Amino acid sequence: MTASSAQITRVSVRVPAKVNLELCVGPRRADGFHDLATTFHAVDLFDEVDVTSADEFSLTVTGLGADVVPCDESNLAWRAAQLMATSYGVDGRCAIAIRKAIPVAGGMAGGSADAAATLVACDALWGLGLSRATLEELAAQLGSDVPFALTGGTALGTGRGEKIVPVLATGTYHWLFALTHEGLSTPAVYAECDRLREGHRVPEPSPSDGLLASVRSGDVHGVAVAMHNDLEPAALSLMPRLRALMEFGLEMGALNAMVSGSGPTVAFLMASRKDAVALRNVLAAGDLADDYVLAASTPHGAQITSAS
């Protein structure tokens, strides 16, 4: 441990939300998970996670949707700190404070992002100096989406989503996200996907060349054509009212619309930020969704913003 790391008592980390530009879901595996081929893409909605040295673990959550986030050991961020402490024989504990801007239970991996941020923060707080590979292993133990939140940018996820390889991506994409206060449970959406596909042969998932070529060249129209989510029919089956929202957004100028991850957030890909603002203003006049947020691509994953 270096002299400076020994003195650190507080670390702040910023971590982005994600949208899956493509989410191909394979058959259900023996362990209940599904093999995926998914292109994760980070967007500039950030949660901020502070960890401070303390005698006991504790957690506070403020910001967007904070009232429905658990503040106990069931929170993935708390489990991340615990996992790191027990894995590396850390004596100390920490107080975790999360400020949320990523929609809760919206299919944008907010809980996973907070867990990834906590891993990065605790590694610095406790002066462990863990390698990126070790952090990714811990992240994968916590959840399928957690490793991506460490990496950010644009990356291909395979396995159950936890095996991450960054992909070459250029350009900035502008999004309007339409939020629904009532959440969808990820296991329920996967189960509904299995139910809808019963009796059909489900191929092994593989990323489409069209999407990867489009993100490589920064071609927003190509991304709009190729973007795809195998969980969308299941999310729409569980929440049919999302369909009207998607259709209206398309009529009003979105390049394409897609359920984000396991939903219920709907992601509208837009030609520009100006178009995203215009669509938000049109949609906000109606009652098809509960809230709207604008976001654009970000190259970052979980990043330390201050340590003192």
> Toward ligand C5P, which CB reaches closer, 28 or 273?
28
Q: Is 110 annotated as a binding residue?
A: yes
Q: Return the number of the residue (109 or 211) whose C-beta is nearest ligand C5P.
A: 109
Q: What is the DSSP string of 1-61?
A: --HHHHT--EEEEEEEEEEEEEEEEEEEPTTS-EEEEEEEEEEEEEEEEEEEEESS-EEEE
Catalytic residues: 18, 145
Dihedral over alpha carbons 142, 46, 232, 35 (to 10 degrees) = -30
Is 43 known to sit in a ligand binding site? no
Cβ 186 to ligand C5P, closest distance in Å? Answer: 4
User: Residue 113, annotated ligand binder?
Assistant: yes
Closer Cβ to ligand C5P, 64 or 189, answer by number: 189
Extract the tokens encoding 306. Answer: 């201050």
Contact residues for ligand C5P, defined by CB under 6 A: 32-34, 36, 143-145, 160-161, 186-187, 190
- Distance separating alpha carbons of residues 154 and 266, to the nearest angstrom: 19
Least distance to ligand C5P from the beta carbon of 51, Å?
22
Smallest separation (angstroms) from ligand C5P to the CB of 79: 11
Q: Is residue 233 annotated as involved in ligand binding?
A: no
Minimum CB separation of residue 130 from ligand C5P in Å reads 21
Binding-site residues for ATP sit at 103-113
Q: Per the annotation, where are the binding residues?
A: 103-113
